Chain A
Amino acid sequence: MSVQTWTFIIVGLTFALYIGIAIWARAGSTSEFYVAGGGVPPIANGMATAADWMSAASFISMAGLISFMGYDGGVFLMGWTGGYVLLALTLAPYLRKFGKFTVPDFIGDRYYSNVARTVAVICALIVSFTYVAGQMRGVGLVFSRFLEVDINTGVYIGMAIVFFYAVLGGMKGITYTQVAQYCVLIFAFMVPAIFISINMTGNPIPQLGFIGNMTDGSNMALLDKLDQLHRDLGFAEYTSGTKSMIDVFAITFALMVGTAGLPHVIVRFFTVPDVKGARVSAGYALVFIAILYTTAPAIAAFARTNLIETVSNQPYADMPEWFSKWEQTGLIAFDDKNNDGNIQYVANAAANELTIDRDIMVLANPEIAGLPAWVIALVAAGGLAAALSTAAGLLLVISTSIARDLIKMQIKPDISEKGELLSARIGAVFAVIVAGYFGIHPPGFVAAVVALAFGLAAASFFPAIILGIFDKRMNRQGAVSGMIVGITLMLYYMIKFKLGGFGGGTPDQWWFGISPEGFGTVAMSVNFIVSFAVSRMTAPPPQEVQDIVEDIRLPSGAGEAHVH
């Protein structure tokens, strides 16, 4: 059977599964819609969190990025998993004890202010929308390559599926669909990795193959071989980076703190029964995440070696079928500058004849390694599972922010349970349409902005939440001014150095040599300082708020997550 037939079968089956689960687990109340009734078992919640967490970027793009960045790619690995540790240790148990539905809920109550709540809602919406647009591009990419449909048709199909289970099922439907999606995506990620690891190093465990020796007769360590190939072609050594140490530090830190502040991941801790459940569920989730995150750098190194050995100085006419298929999508381009019919893939831009989009490395990897058709189809299904699960989680945050934090808490406090559920569903519909729009008409700056969503989350939410738990003296004035200064500074830097506003700027003008991707670290520090200074110059928070802080620090007595 051809790759395309296999893809139709496997993707069709997984989609049928997701829809079946959505019908079985549809939400009947706002509590089920927002937090699945707060009764999800920790291990299932761990899988759902992992699927929620690992986006199209983790599945499709990350290994490809590392493949091209070498050592520097470690910023994503350490940043995203390390941020998870921060979240599990410093936020999750306390937010679970607090027992409301959303991050703006926490900020609004903790800082006894609807201004703070509104600032938090706006930050949550900005972060979620930039992130969700990236997922929709991922869906379109997979569809256009593997089902050979138009990229827009791909986005419509993706929208319809997400629409179905997010609007109908709410958090309950999403949680159980995400459990299934985790299983699909991890299977799809591991199978080709294991095959390739056996092929190249003889070791079935990719993490060990990564540090093992090649079986091509040279008996060289894989990474030494790769460093040598890089040197021969004029690239920087794979295991050394090209970024400055301070920038690597700043980017890693911004990613860590930003991940810990991502609203769609935090909300996952409201779905377990108690504080103990929140802690252990974080443990399960990180194990599930680590399986993929420790395999990705192995895939990156395998794919890079394979790619160079397949194309470098080989005749264009001899390229395998996958090469021309990806050429049709425009993601691989060959320009025979010296007309010798061979592919020169080198670091020197003037002599280099091959351009490869980083996003295709994971998707093309099984084909490059010559794996069977069903494995290639499986990877397509895995990519879709990763994109859809994250998109659904984000859409839920958007709809909850609209229905609860804006309508219920601010505009119409006397809204009935039914009315609130309806507005949450309408919010989800609205969010799906906007996300689809960005998927079909991706503004040029989306790719740039997605990376910066982390910086925005770091610069806005993170200090307000941390201080809300660990600094009893922190008050409304401090938190609000910190959030506003933090996000404004971040937006300014981003617009100046990424989008060319405010006169633009070049990398040698970066403040402290820190790139916009790493600037969240600076903006976050400023947020902390401003919050701290302002809070100490103004009155302490009222006694009942200080009592809330005392209360969330103690684990027992956490009730169900419900409306107070």
Chain B
Amino acid sequence: MSNDNKAQKYWKENLVYLGILLAIWFLVSYVFGIFLVEPLNTVKIGGAKLGFWFAQQGSIYVFVILIYVYVVLMNKLDKKYGYDS
């Protein structure tokens, strides 16, 4: 595999990861916390309405998980393509 080719492939996989992670990012904040807040509010988590809870708590928990998943995925990707030196 030539260097250029390798770099292209690495970048493509990186973009796929980014796309998936940002889709989840959008889902928990904008979709659950804003667009679908009314229907989700009919469900309860503990004493809180679910849509409200996503806007003020849930989305933040997911954000933290997203960054760590990203770290793990990228470290693996670096290793696969030998960019981890």
Chain A positions near chain B (C-beta within 8 angstroms): 66, 71, 73-74, 77-78, 81-82, 84-86, 88-90, 93, 207-208, 210-213, 221-224, 239-240, 245, 248-249, 252-253, 276, 279-280, 282-283, 286-287, 290, 293-294, 297, 550, 553-557
Contacts and interface: CB of A to CB of B under 8 A. Distances in A.
Nearest to A72: B55
A210 B71 contact: no
A282 B67 contact: yes
A555 B61 CA distance: 27
A85 B67 contact: yes
Nearest to A555: B83
Interface of B: 7, 10-11, 14, 18, 21-22, 25, 29-30, 33-35, 37, 41, 45-49, 52-53, 55-57, 59-61, 63-64, 66-68, 70-71, 74-75, 78, 82-85
Contacts of B37: 71
Contacts of A224: 47
Top 4 A-B residue pairs of the complex, sorted by shortest distance between their CB atoms: A221-B47, A211-B46, A74-B55, A297-B56
Contact of A82 (B29, B47, B74, B82): B29
Given A74-B33, A279-B75, A283-B64, 17 more contacts: A71-B56, A74-B56, A78-B33, A86-B22, A90-B18, A223-B48, A239-B48, A239-B52, A276-B75, A276-B84, A279-B74, A290-B60, A553-B10, A553-B11, A554-B7, A554-B83, A556-B82
Main secondary structure, interface of A, reads: helix
Given A221-B46, A223-B48, A248-B34, A280 B71 contact: yes
A206 B82 CA distance: 44
Contacts of B48: 210-211, 221, 223, 239
Main secondary structure, interface of B, reads: helix
A253 B37 CA distance: 16
Contacts of B66: 85, 89
A249 B83 CA distance: 38
A245 B30 CA distance: 10
B78 A81 contact: no
A458 B13 CA distance: 27
B83 A211 contact: no
B7 A287 contact: no
A89 B60 contact: no
Contacts of B25: 82, 85-86
